[in-house]
Structure formats: C-alpha cells, structure tokens
Amino acid sequence: MDGEATSIGPLDITRVMAAIPHRYPMLLVDRVAELIPDRSITAIKAVTINEGFFQGHFPGRPIMPGVLIVEALAQAAGILAVESLGLAGSGKLVYFMSIDGVKFRKPVEPGVLLTLEAEFVQKRSRVCKFAGKARIDGELAAECEFTAMIADPPTG
C-alpha cells in the first residue's frame, strides 16, 4: 500500500446520519468503528429482537433477512464513499447498480453485533465498486461485491 492512510473514527449515529439519508426503520448502521478514506470502513449494526422484520422472519426462529444484511453492507459502503469523496451533508445519494457473488455463511440472530466491513475495489467520481463482508464475533456471516452510483438528490 502507498503511504499510511489516516483513520477516522469512531463515528457516532449523528455522523452516520449526516453521511447517508437513511432513517428508522431502514437505517442499518449504528456506528462506524473505523473509516480509512479511499480504502475501507468497519461499521456496526446492533441486531436486536425489537427489529420489525423479526416478527415475521421467522416466528419461533428469528433470523435477519439476507437482503437486509446486504443493505447494511451497502449503507456502510455508502458512508465510506461519501466521506472519502467529501460529500457528507451534500444530500448526494448512493444507489445500488449491481450486487454480485452474494454468499450467506451464518444466520444473523437477535442479540449480536454485526460487523460490517466494506472496501473499495474500484473508485470513480460517480461509480464505485465495493467488496463487503459481514461478521459475527469474527466469523463470516455474509459476503458480496456490489457497485453503486453516486447521484444528485431529487429536485422539487
């Protein structure tokens, strides 16, 4: 790696909400443990039984839906992109363009801290590709690659 990058973090929920527009019940990042601009992010999602989706997924065996794990990874990557490009507070949105190679390795149940790791694979001014991994106590729960587009907020 070229040079030593300066780490940012931890970032609290206020800073998370300044970086991405998501709000309850769709905000799936509780804090950022570490962010290395232009490189990577490690964020945390505290998974609690109070999450609305556990009511129906599944009664008697609550498991976080895989699509929400991928969404949590994308939100962490969105924070990485916005912070790396100096766009926090700009209102810019980060949209999924593609999701590839998703693998679920371990169910995510209530009561865990889900560690969300995302890193740039490719970075351009408007399109970024990321590799993401979700872990529970260091064990891989899910992984994927995804591409996102940075767009202007809607007008009017």
Active site residue 22: no
Question: How would you label 33-48 residue by residue, b for 16+ Cβ within 10 Å and e otherwise?
Answer: bebbbeebbbbbbebe
**How far, in Å, are 95, 151, 155 from residue 74 at the CA level?**
9, 15, 24
Backbone angles phi, psi at 9, to 5 degrees: 140, 165
Q: How far apart are CA 140 and CA 142, in angstroms?
A: 6
Q: Which residue has the tokens 């991928």?
A: 70
| Residue from 22, 39, 57, 106 carrying the catalytic annotation | 57
Catalytic annotation, residues: 57
